[in-house]
Homo-oligomer: A and B are copies of this chain.
Amino acid sequence: MQTESESMKQPPRAIILLSGGLDSATVLAMARDAGYACYALSVDYGQRHRAELDAAKGLANLLGAIEHRVAHLDLRVFGGSALTDNAIAVPESPTTGIPITYVPARNTLMLALALGYAEVVGAIDIFIGVNAVDYSGYPDCRPDFIEAFQTLARLATKVGVEGARLRIQAPIIGMSKAQIIQVGRALGVDYSMTVSCYQADTLGLACGRCDSCRLRAEGFADAGLADPTRYQHT
């Protein structure tokens, strides 16, 4: 058995949902900077932009994650989104309302997977890189959603029932894209390694035209920094 002083030396464990994009890479760097032992989780859900999974692997390594697991969950069984159904095109001009790139229940599923992983490795904190400012209008990126999931997590799990105060941490939820980039740059995130584009090619090169590319480019411009994104030559 551990003595109290030994146990106090161990950093708390956290699960970090790591898509391979700019936001989640920044969140991983922030969690590590806050002293957590970081367990990174990516989800292969049949997404069109699969290069982000390769990016996640490199970022987990660069940013000091203890381990990186990839869960497989094929959301193409449902379709209904431009990101999981090849018959639906990714929009290349701004749209109003909730866009077709919304993947039904995606963040609920991601957090549920993180919750299972948290129980198995004994983590109390789960970090997710949702953002409610420069975002695409998805319902599952809002503070109300995060809070409701935290309530659920404490009721849903063995550790929660036993008294653990599970927390869903969304540290960039209120930041602008420019602020996120500035924080991450200061913590050593190499943004040339991140893939944000919804239709990145197999090398991870960005289209420069989709919603996600547009928000990202504006973020670098607003931050007054050169955009390190690797774009397709079209």
Enumerate chain A interface residues (CB-CB to B < 8 A): 69-75, 77-80, 98, 102-109, 112-113, 115-120, 139-140, 142, 144-145, 148-149, 151-153, 155-158, 160-161
Contacts and interface: CB of A to CB of B under 8 A. Distances in A.
A109 B116 CA distance: 9
Q: Dominant SS at the A interface?
A: helix
B71 A74 contact: yes
A69 B79 CA distance: 12
Question: What is the oligomeric copy number?
Answer: 2
Contacts of A107: 156
7 closest A-B pairs by beta carbon, nearest first, are A105-B116, A104-B119, A80-B120, A104-B116, A105-B115, A108-B112, A148-B152
A40 B126 CA distance: 31
A161 B98 contact: yes
Contact of A139 (B145, B149, B158): B158
B77 A74 contact: no
A109 B119 CA distance: 13
A186 B56 CA distance: 53
B113 A105 contact: yes
Contacts of A70: 77
A179 to B, nearest CB: 25
B139 A144 contact: no
Contacts of A104: 115-120, 157-158
Contact of A148 (B77, B98, B148, B158): B148
A139 B157 contact: yes
A102 B213 CA distance: 42
A153 to B, nearest CB: 8
Contacts of A156: 105, 107-108, 139-140, 145, 148
Contacts of A158: 98, 102, 104, 139
A124 to B, nearest CB: 14
A157 B105 contact: yes
A108 B77 contact: no
A231 B74 CA distance: 34
Contacts of A75: 116
